[in-house]
Amino acid sequence: MLNQITVRAIPDELKREIESRAQADGESLNKSVIRLLKQAVGLDRPERKKRDLSAFAGTWTEAEAAEFDRSVRIFDTIDEDLWK
């Protein structure tokens, strides 16, 4: 069953924030409001957006990994004169 609720007198600041979040998350305003309401009443925990490089983990071949290791090996060298 699909239900509807009308909410009146939404402050401009709240409206802008909801619209901004919907756009940032690439979802419709309706979907964003439902998600935020579920989170607010404890029915749904917010999804943590990953901001790491896990999508790239394990994608290199052994040859690519070896080439990378060779390319960055110079960074393991410590120039003693720079630390005086």
Query: Which tens digit of pLDDT belongs to each residue from 4-19?
Result: 999 999 999 999 999 9
Domain membership of residue 26 (yes or no) is no
d(C-alpha 44, C-alpha 42), whole Å: 6
pLDDT, position 3: 92
* 46 vs 26: CA distance, rounded Å: 15
CA distance 38 to 60: 40
Q: Is 64 a domain residue?
A: yes
Tell me if 43 is assigned to some domain: no
Torsion, Cα 34 40 42 43, to 10 degrees, reads 0
Q: What's the predicted TM-score (pTM) here?
A: 0.51
In a domain, 69, yes or no: yes
* Total count of domains within the chain: 1
Domain interval for residue 74: 54-78
- Rounded CA separation 46/74 (Å): 42
